[in-house]
Structure 1
């Protein structure tokens, strides 16, 4: 199925600078309109004007290179079984199972990753459990923690700027999302798609990261300008997406889709390994997941509720079900709408 130029799949680019630098009302209204359209039509958006300095991004990229360049035995020391922290080696996850979709080969996502995030002890005034958050494990790599933490702070700022824009776009009070995220489970996942030949045995289709939707409210993604990321369009076709120079890719998570009863989309995406001349080309990405308060209940806003709106859900329960699929091989039977979209996908982009 080919698309004509007039209806070609495009991830819109939006300059959010007026919200970063407190711009004029007319400028902010333009941002709101463009974000609303992108969230309604695609569920993905490229953001410019985010304000993260280039040296901070360069430091993050260097930290990734330093860690993932270690021997596998060294990296395995930082694996934390059962927690969404630390190192995940190749073939230890299957993102498609977070949707309840059985892939041709379970636990076949060949990327490796390192996760850090907010800890329960970051909120000493609240009675929270590290079972819901997790304790960070920092590798013995010079400057790794400082470089990653610096970027984490900037990505958190961008995510909260976006939710402020979301509140305006949805006609809600300015603090609507703040009430859902003031002790949010925020996780930074650093991904590396590059495996020397013979490092890992792969059966079935070669998959970088299986098809999935993100769990929470919004995801902010930095990535190399290397092919691999694919987004499922409303045409049922997977489309390649690369970030513009200096842009961050942003996509909505399941909880925002629930809030709007799918008026705004939690778009399915995956990573197919970039293969050039028969060899996997290295690709790096870093996703900041802004998932919301563990003890918050998410409900569909009444003004967006259709005839069969989502049932209210506790964020803790939603995240646990998704993680049980991706990390523990237990299919998530609650992701009915998302799984149906995967199964309905008709093919690849041939445009």
Structure 2
């Protein structure tokens, strides 16, 4: 069910990593094998749910093995995305959008660094993105006009639509499965989260992290993606390993996240943390800037977000689930809108 093998090359296997005499706790990021959950044995499934619960309390992160997403889906989508990102600026500009919108977001337009204060627009993220949403209508015209606008597809790269739709369809099935494990983990029933996310926008971000040769040296404190927490329920990340890598914060220190070929990274977002009364952690993470050791390194991440129904009111669950039960309620859509505005660079 859980496998920690192969992680010592990327995260110290000792739970207390010693640097300069200071003891720091490495984040608990286990691998959960979905084939074990799919076995259908109730005792085994309970064990999987307990492991998810523990990981979400300890670090807010885990990795999924045997998740069932064919690797060629991500590979084909990356190929099409790279073809789009290689187009001239003036061509891509036809599809430009803003943070939270659908289409192309140029480099310099988003600053994700967030610790309760507004991000620093003078040090924007060193990336460009293509954002795609779910082809769905909730039945509420006001919600649909804002949250479910039609996707924008570049006519120059028709393969992008084909591969993105195929990829998202499979990912939707996977995160419904994860939502059922979450419901089991909290003894809420397997459909509890399904019912409250069925009208979510299900955004997919394709992030391109350009090479140092293209970007030039980063400013002090500038990152490919600045230190932040994710906004919504949880994130499914298909990432490429590199020098400008993915890091997770633990006890005020930063650690390289483990990378195991073929796994997906799952992490909890702010709204899920609030829903569980801070039982589960929405943990800060970042993507390092391009590094001089690899001046030609270019990476593409596929980031699928699981969103609550945009009109859902997120209230902390009572004890014994919730630990911080006095948190004020938040409307999901309003919170997402505020975070998108805060991350926008004019």
CA distance in 1, matches of 2:99, 2:52: 36
Seen in structure 2, the aligned counterparts of structure 1 residues 318 and 83 have a Cα distance that, compared at 3 Å, is: closer
SS in structure 1 of the partner of residue 113 of structure 2: helix
CA distance in 2, matches of 1:294, 1:124: 10
List alignment gaps of at least 5 residues for structure 2: 1-11, 18-25
Paired residues of 1:48 and 1:246 also in contact (CA < 8 A)? yes
CA distance in 2, matches of 1:83, 1:109: 15
Seen in structure 2, the aligned counterparts of structure 1 residues 288 and 255 have a Cα distance that, compared at 3 Å, is: same
Seen in structure 2, the aligned counterparts of structure 1 residues 181 and 278 have a Cα distance that, compared at 3 Å, is: closer
SS in structure 1 of the partner of residue 303 of structure 2: strand
CA distance in 2, matches of 1:251, 1:74: 34
Per-residue deviation, 1:70: 1.8
CA distance in 2, matches of 1:213, 1:194: 22
Seen in structure 2, the aligned counterparts of structure 1 residues 247 and 168 have a Cα distance that, compared at 3 Å, is: same
Question: 1:71 maps to what in 2?
Answer: 88
SS in structure 2 of the partner of residue 270 of structure 1: strand
Paired residues of 2:62 and 2:266 also in contact (CA < 8 A)? yes
CA distance in 2, matches of 1:56, 1:62: 10
Per-residue deviation, 1:124: 6.0
Per-residue deviation, 1:185: 1.6
State whether structure 2 residue 164 is matched by structure 1 residue 144: no
CA distance in 1, matches of 2:13, 2:52: 24
CA distance in 1, matches of 2:332, 2:256: 31
Q: Provide TM-score, normalisation by structure 1.
A: 0.85
Seen in structure 2, the aligned counterparts of structure 1 residues 131 and 102 have a Cα distance that, compared at 3 Å, is: closer
Paired residues of 1:92 and 1:107 also in contact (CA < 8 A)? no
Q: Higher mean Cα deviation, 166-175 or 78-87?
A: 78-87
Aligned residues: 323
Question: 2:229 maps to what in 1?
Answer: 213
Question: 2:133 maps to what in 1?
Answer: 117
Q: Higher mean Cα deviation, 197-206 or 127-136?
A: 197-206
CA distance in 2, matches of 1:251, 1:295: 22
Question: 1:38 maps to what in 2?
Answer: 55
Question: 1:159 maps to what in 2?
Answer: 175
Question: 1:339 maps to what in 2?
Answer: none
Alignment of 1:189-338 (within 5 A): 189-195=205-211, 197=213, 203-227=219-243, 228-233=245-250, 235-277=251-293, 279=295, 281-303=297-319, 304-306=321-323, 309-328=326-345
State whether structure 2 residue 190 is matched by structure 1 residue 181: no
SS in structure 1 of the partner of residue 301 of structure 2: strand
SS in structure 1 of the partner of residue 274 of structure 2: helix
Seen in structure 2, the aligned counterparts of structure 1 residues 219 and 99 have a Cα distance that, compared at 3 Å, is: same
Q: Provide TM-score, normalisation by structure 2.
A: 0.86
Per-residue deviation, 1:202: 5.2
Question: 1:132 maps to what in 2?
Answer: 147
Deviations for 1:155-196, whole angstroms, at most 9, x for unmatched residues?
A: 111111111000000110221101211111210000010146
Per-residue deviation, 1:149: 0.6
SS in structure 2 of the partner of residue 5 of structure 1: coil
Deviations for 1:220-250, whole angstroms, at most 9, x for unmatched residues?
A: 00011224111111x2101111431100000
Seen in structure 2, the aligned counterparts of structure 1 residues 83 and 237 have a Cα distance that, compared at 3 Å, is: closer
Paired residues of 2:205 and 2:303 also in contact (CA < 8 A)? yes
Paired residues of 1:46 and 1:250 also in contact (CA < 8 A)? yes
The equivalent position to 2:34 in structure 1, one of 16, 19, 41, is 16
Per-residue deviation, 1:74: 1.9
CA distance in 2, matches of 1:278, 1:247: 24
CA distance in 1, matches of 2:240, 2:71: 14
The equivalent position to 2:16 in structure 1, one of 2, 7, 26, is 7
Paired residues of 1:194 and 1:283 also in contact (CA < 8 A)? yes
CA distance in 1, matches of 2:100, 2:279: 33
The equivalent position to 1:60 in structure 2, one of 66, 77, 92, is 77
